[in-house]
Chain A
Amino acid sequence: MALIDTGKNKVLLLGIGDYGSTNRADTEIKTMALGSCVAVVLLDPKTKTVGMVHVALPDSNIQQSHRTFKPGYFADTGIKILLQDMKRFGSSGVLSDMYVKLAGGARVIKAEGVLDIGRRNIEAIKNILIENKIKPVAHDLAGVISRTVTVEVKTGIVRLSCPGRDDWFI
């Protein structure tokens, strides 16, 4: 994770498995080239806090045979740690208090079943939302698009970009 000052605004840049949050209106939170990963964006309407986590895999239990990696890397631990982080700005830490936007979860052409990690990521995240009785307010998921995701803290608008395509928004 890195905070970059462009002169015009500040950009909190998240790498794979990173999470970050802020309530500063002059800041954007950004993560690059999402492949099958999913960016989970949480917007807290009460405190105007915005958070993002860059989820790469659906389930942290896979780590059993490896050393522990970043909690933000997995859907289950990633959403939890992001909610925790947003408490620094007075957020409740309760998922159902948030608006949720999702982007990513792509695949390569004709990839199905075993190869479709993007779909498993999306399902894992949607299941967590269902358990908490909420739905995303906006999403841009699946397909064969490598998305770069930027959320503007001031408005909560998420800009999506991809080399060779015009930007779009959710």
Chain B
Amino acid sequence: MISEEILAQIKKTQKFSDAAIKLMHVVNSVNYSANDIIEIIRYDSKLTAIILKMVNSAEFGMRRKVDSIKNAVSMMGAKKILDIAQEIYTRMYLNKPLSGYESDGMWQHSLRTALAAAQLAPLCVKPYDTEKAFTAGILHDIGKNVLSNFLGNTAHSFIDNIDRHRLHDYLEAEESKLGTNHSEVGELLAREWQLPEFICQAIKHHHKPSLAEEEFKPIAYIIHMADIAAMLSCSDQGSDSLLYEVDTTYTDYFHFSGQELEEIILVIDMECEQIQKTFAEIGE
């Protein structure tokens, strides 16, 4: 049973902007047009401004100045602009400290999970759309935004109990204190925001993908593995980092070698560094 206070907090949690939510629905439609993207972004002046700053930064090395979203889409492609928009949201909405997890923010972890998910999607035994995997990766831990304030100073005792094998992992630790965990609450939040079903399911099952319904198993396993890859690589991490269990049935969905996993980590680190540099350059 989820407490009334937590249910109330789900309604109060700061929502991503309308444009961000609309873009997530566009991703879900798979065969979106460039125009769909342009029409959503141009009505969000803040997003438009940051995208233009980014594409005109030295990191992108464009020869001509890009002065409109339409221009940006025609020069760089709709997919690239969609990716940039999502990177910006990740930074905008997931960069706040989460005191219950002793974390300064989880935008890098979220972005790394998204970047890993996009690489893992085509490697899955049932290949999945990379753009959808990326979007689900960004949002997978959104439930922590709801739970953080209810956890108080639990980190020390949670970790102590996991070390002593009195608790299995951090998910069980959350449950021991709150009767729910960040996957369950994250799914409710995603439903409150009316996000596409594949995102709700990915959030709900990202730590235990074997429990997902057959249809949603691929995305659940992709996000599960992407989350692990992101926790292994180094970034903004909280008290819960690494303290989750691998669902060992992942081998039914992935047959990658150790070296292939290492290449995925290398690509995440290279891309993430590029994105961080760009944000630093434009001062966002």
Cβ contact within 8 Å between A120 and B234: no
Instruction: How many A-B residue pairs have C-beta atoms within 8 angstroms? Tell me.
Output: 117
Q: When each residue 233-251 of chain B gets 1 if its CB lies under 8 Å from chain A and 0 otherwise, what string results?
A: 1111111011111101000
A164–B157 CA distance with the chains assembled, in angstroms: 8
Partner-binding segment picked from B41-49, B88-96, B259-267: B259-267
Cβ of A8 within 8 Å of any chain B Cβ, yes or no, is no
Cβ contact within 8 Å between A35 and B246: no
Residue of A nearest to B270 (CB): A69
- Report which residue of B236, B256, B265, B273 has the largest number of chain A beta carbons within 10 angstroms of its beta carbon: B265
Min distance, Cβ A21 to any Cβ of chain B, angstroms:
20
Select A109's contact among B235, B246, B273, beta carbons within 8 Å.
Answer: B246
Min distance, Cβ B113 to any Cβ of chain A, angstroms:
13
Residues of chain B with a CB closer than 8 A to A63's CB: 266
Residues of chain B with a CB closer than 8 A to A31's CB: 234
Cβ contact within 8 Å between B262 and A146: no
Cβ contact within 8 Å between A163 and B244: no
- Report which residue of A56, A66, A111, A146 has the largest number of chain B beta carbons within 10 angstroms of its beta carbon: A146
Residues of chain A with a CB closer than 8 A to B174's CB: none
Residues of chain B with a CB closer than 8 A to A17's CB: 269
Min distance, Cβ A168 to any Cβ of chain B, angstroms:
13
Given contacts A57-B266, A115-B246, 6 further A-B contacts (CB under 8 A): A34-B234, A62-B263, A66-B266, A109-B245, A114-B256, A146-B234
Name A residues whose Cβ lies closer than 8 Å to a Cβ of B: 15-17, 31-37, 54, 56-58, 62-63, 65-67, 69, 73, 106-111, 113-115, 117-118, 120, 144-146, 162-165
A-B contact list, 22 entries, CB within 8 Å: A16-B273, A35-B231, A37-B234, A56-B233, A56-B269, A62-B259, A62-B263, A69-B270, A108-B232, A108-B245, A109-B244, A110-B246, A113-B258, A114-B261, A117-B265, A120-B262, A144-B243, A145-B242, A146-B241, A164-B156, A164-B239, A165-B159
